[in-house]
Structure 1
Amino acid sequence: MSDPKPTPVSRRSSAVLVAAAGVLIAGYLVLRPYGDADGGETLAAAEAFSSTLWIASHLAGAAALVSLAAFWSLQTSGPLRWTGPVGVALVLPYYGAETFALHEIGARALAGDPDVLDLVAAVRDNPAAVALFAVGLITLAVAGIAAAISWRRAHRPGRAAGALLPLAVVAALFLPQFFLPPAGRMAYGLVFAAAAVYAAITAASAGRDTTGPSPVGRRSAAEPSRVRQG
């Protein structure tokens, strides 16, 4: 059974969702304080954790993954439609701890209790939390690949057939980017945004292309008129 083509309305919604995901990921990785790059037990890490930008950037990252999961879901049919929502549901608890627990730890450390920084590793390395986070990101990667394949089937042949492949590949590398240095993570965010904007433009264009009569329809409608005039 072939995948159903999205309606024009869903294509417009898809374009908004994927563009938002790209902008939010870029904001997350570019604006995120990187004082913890050399470890979470340093004064620089405490300053990063306690920053307002720490909370804002991580919330942007979480919102980006929600938008991305919704986008993948709109492009897919059958059981695979649920891989995106399931993946992001597994990821969000870790983001919550990273966002709010580390913020409170950093603020307490700067207030005169530096020993509290010993809890950073416990928060970040909790086995259950790390396992859920990794499985969730892998599930999101599967959702992206499934969506790219579904889109390709729905738009083949045509220039737009491979439009989601760059974003699916870049999104699948979201887990490895955590091990890059700050400059690498920021560059990854910008590449992600570029792939997302490309996908958004293609999704919007595909929607416009299908809202009016096809060129074949216009030609066939005009031919009887020419015959009558002749």
Structure 2
Amino acid sequence: MSAHSSLTALVSGALMAAYLLLRPYGDADGGDTLAAAEAFASPLWIASHVAGAAALVALAAPWALVSTGWPRWAAVVGVAMALPYYGAETFALHEIGARALSGDAATLELVAAVRDNPVAMTLFGVGLIALAAAGIGAALRWRRGHARTPVGARGGPPSGGALLPLAVVAALFLTQFFLPPAGRMAYGVIFAVAAAYAAYGLRRAASAERAEEQTQPGR
């Protein structure tokens, strides 16, 4: 279980970094400008946002895999609620940008309608809050269950706190939307580092569990 969680955590970090580093930021000064239209119409807009959506799916996986009870359900429900908004942001704005660049600049007036749809925004916000709660809950449960788990023959700190940095950084995901482009890119890098740390801790915990099983009598 820890091995699978390790892989999904690592994938989540790589995808989140790709999303925020590759995303065109022409819309940083508003969605009704020529720069915004060029950003929306770029192939990187779709590629980066698909990576971002996939990062959230991959992030929900370790929370669901390492815990039971409400964190597991909160992770699944949270990501399911967040994805529809990402779909609109990814594909609707791409088509709007392409139409604007073809000469119909008035279509940029639809950007605010797409982004500010109250139902979509509510689902997105509640979904991210649920995903954040799942991460914190899963990390705390993992910490309690693995506070003294050995990490293998080479030693090292216990793996109990391995998930906490990623859980905290992931809980701040909603706030990064209010940062300038440089801040958002920095967040992506920090997320990737925290995910790599979580993956490392999960992998070593899995190795320790296998080593313990092999030393049990009768094996």
**TM-score > 0.5, shorter chain as reference:** yes
- Cα deviation for residue 57 of structure 1 reads 0.2
Runs (5+) with no aligned partner, structure 1:
1-9, 222-230
Provide the rounded CA distance (Å) in 1 between the counterparts of 2:13 and 2:79: 16
1:138 corresponding residue in structure 2: 129
Which residue, 106, 110, 119 being the options, matches 1:119? 110
Which residue, 17, 24, 30 being the options, matches 1:26? 17
In structure 1, what residue type is equivalent to 2:11? A
1:69-148 equivalent positions in 2, closer than 5 A? 69-148=60-139
Provide the rounded CA distance (Å) in 2 between the counterparts of 1:92 and 1:207: 31
In structure 1, what residue type is equivalent to 2:99? R
- Cα deviation for residue 205 of structure 1 reads 0.7
1:189 corresponding residue in structure 2: 188
SS of the residue 1:38 aligns to = coil
Provide the rounded CA distance (Å) in 2 between the counterparts of 1:39 and 1:213: 56
In structure 2, what residue type is equivalent to 1:146? G
Provide the rounded CA distance (Å) in 1 between the counterparts of 2:66 and 2:74: 12
In structure 1, what residue type is equivalent to 2:125? A
- Cα deviation for residue 213 of structure 1 reads 3.6
Size of the aligned set, in residue pairs, is 210
2:170 corresponding residue in structure 1: 171
Provide the rounded CA distance (Å) in 2 between the counterparts of 1:88 and 1:214: 34
SS of the residue 1:136 aligns to = helix
Which residue, 39, 56, 62 being the options, matches 1:65? 56
User: Deviating runs (4+, > 3 A) in structure 1?
Assistant: none
- Cα deviation for residue 214 of structure 1 reads 7.2
Q: 1:204 aligned to 2:203?
A: yes
Identity of aligned residues (%): 64
| CA displacement 1:85-131 (0-9 Å, x = unmatched) | 10000000000000000000000000000000000000000011111
1:2-41 equivalent positions in 2, closer than 5 A? 10-41=1-32
Q: CA RMSD in A?
A: 1.6
In structure 2, what residue type is equivalent to 1:89? A
Provide the rounded CA distance (Å) in 1 between the counterparts of 2:201 and 2:8: 13
Provide the rounded CA distance (Å) in 2 between the counterparts of 1:46 and 1:214: 57
- Cα deviation for residue 11 of structure 1 reads 1.1
SS of the residue 1:34 aligns to = coil
| CA displacement 1:61-106 (0-9 Å, x = unmatched) | 0000001111110111123311001000000000000000000000
Provide the rounded CA distance (Å) in 2 between the counterparts of 1:26 and 1:16: 16
Provide the rounded CA distance (Å) in 2 between the counterparts of 1:31 and 1:179: 18
Provide the rounded CA distance (Å) in 2 between the counterparts of 1:75 and 1:212: 19
In structure 2, what residue type is equivalent to 1:81? R
Q: 1:162 aligned to 2:161?
A: yes
